[in-house]
Each structure stands twice: as structure tokens, then as C-alpha cells.
Amino acid sequence: MSPLATLAAPDLRIAGLVPLSTVDWPGRLVATVFCQGCPWRCTYCHNAAILDPHAPGAVPFDELGRLLERRRGLLDGVVFSGGEATMQHAVVPAARAVRERGFAVGLHTGGAFPTRMQALLGVDTDGRRVGSPLVDWVGFDVKAAPAGYTDLVGRAGAWQRSARSLQLLLASGVDHELRMTVTPQLIDQVPTVIETVHRGGGTHLVLQKARADGAESGFARQLAAVPDWTERFDAAAHRTRQLGAQQGLEVTVRA
């Protein structure tokens, strides 16, 4: 038997647990689990402290279980975030365990691990339904234009992985939100992202303005060097809404 087949929910390495969040799943009250590890190194990342995939977890899975028992009837669900939640095989049994407790499951991902996405979405390699999904909603980060992925995340082949996961998500029928965090360096890539999402079958994209809060000092300095960043973002968002409308793609802004 493969060692991976023996992994269980308690094997999930949890870097942090937020008992109540109103922002990690729009319209839902959730607990948010920050999973340890990520293969990518996005310049604007706000969770740099939990990117090391070899670091041990700081919160035992049983603590999440106890929280859910105390908050039964008060919480709608649990969001698995990161880092990159799908980096760990144990996220699959962890999501199943949460659903078995009667809570909805959300996922934040950049799509770095398509095979794990298949398992969580309950689909085959073509996105066809082969089982019940283990997630009720996915917040999917479209990081950049296809040609910009490698520079942003520091890993060759990242776009191909993300595109595969996005294809699976859109084919699965699972509720989702597609979003892009926009930085001064990425702002010129937004029109291409719009076109890419539209061609892939997406119908809605959320633009998020990059902030320095929680990011590494180098990125904070980059933002500080663009004093009119808010004005530039607002102008780009206006143009993007118009472009999206022309293509039948709804664009909203989360500043």
C-alpha cells in the first residue's frame, strides 16, 4: 500500500487556525485553516512565514475538531487556505472529515496541484463528475497572464498546472470565485488575464488591490515607490470592467 493511502486528517500540518472569519468565504461565517507549505514564491505573498513545506504544523487537527463542536450551529463551514492547501495530500481526508461533521468546506488555491484538485472536486481528468465533491466552494487565484507566471511565482511550469486546475474547476460545476491580486508589476497583464479567463469559460473575475500589510519588506518598499498606486489601480479597474463587459465577463473590485 502506498504511504499516501494511509494519510489521515490528523496528518494535515496546520500553521494557523482562525476561529471566525467573515471574509474568507463571501457570505459565510467560517473557521479558516492555514495549511503549511507552498511551492510558489509570489512577490506579494502575505503568508511568507508558512511557505516552508518541511516545517511541522503548529496546530493539531484535533483542535479544529474541538472548535467545530463548540461552534456547531454558529459556523457555516471551514476554509482550507495556505500557503497552498493542495500541496498536502492530507487535505483530502481533512476536507472529508469536516464534511462528515456536517460543515461546508471551502478552499483557497492557486491550482498548483491538479491531481489534488481532482480528488477534492470529485472529477476525472476531463472534469467529469465521478464522485461527490469534498468542497462546496473554491476561491481560485489567477495569478498572472500565462507568460507572467514563472517570473511571479519563481517556478517553471506553474501556469500549465494552474490552467489545468482551472479547467477542472470550471468543468466541475462547483461554486467558485476567480480572483487576481493586482500589483504595479502585474497591472499591464490584467487585460490578458481577462481574455484568458473568458476563453476558459469563466464568467466572473474579482480584482484585488495588492497591499503591503503582512507582505515582506521588499514588496512593501515597491508599493511605497508608487505613490499614486490607488489611482492607478482604480483606473485599471475601470478599464477592465469595460473590457470584461465587451467579452461577457463580469468584473468586480475588492480594494
Q: What backbone phi and psi angles, to 5 degrees, belong to 248?
A: 80, 25
Q: In terms of residues, how long is the chain? A: 255
Q: Are the C-beta atoms of 76 and 26 separated by less than 8 Å?
A: no
Q: What is the spatial distance between Cα 190 and Cα 198, in angstroms, rounded to a whole number?
A: 12
Apex 217 CA angle, 212 and 220, nearest 5: 30
User: Per residue of the chain (255 residues), what is the pLDDT tens digit?
Assistant: 444 557 999 999 999 999 999 999 999 999 999 999 999 999 999 898 899 999 999 999 999 999 999 999 999 999 999 999 999 999 999 999 999 999 999 999 999 999 999 999 999 998 999 999 999 999 999 999 999 999 999 999 999 999 999 999 999 999 999 999 999 999 999 999 999 999 999 999 999 999 988 888 899 999 999 999 999 999 999 999 999 999 999 999 987
Q: What backbone phi and psi angles, to 5 degrees, belong to 175?
A: -60, 145
What is the pTM assigned to this prediction?
0.95
How does pLDDT run across 96-117, given as a tens digit for each residue? 999 999 999 999 999 999 999 9
Give the Cβ contact number of residue 225 at 10 Å.
Answer: 9
Q: What is the spatial distance between Cα 54 and Cα 121, in angstroms, rounded to a whole number?
A: 26
Q: Are the C-beta atoms of 113 and 165 separated by less than 8 Å?
A: yes
Q: What is the spatial distance between Cα 56 and Cα 222, in angstroms, rounded to a whole number?
A: 32
Q: What backbone phi and psi angles, to 5 degrees, belong to 81?
A: -125, -165
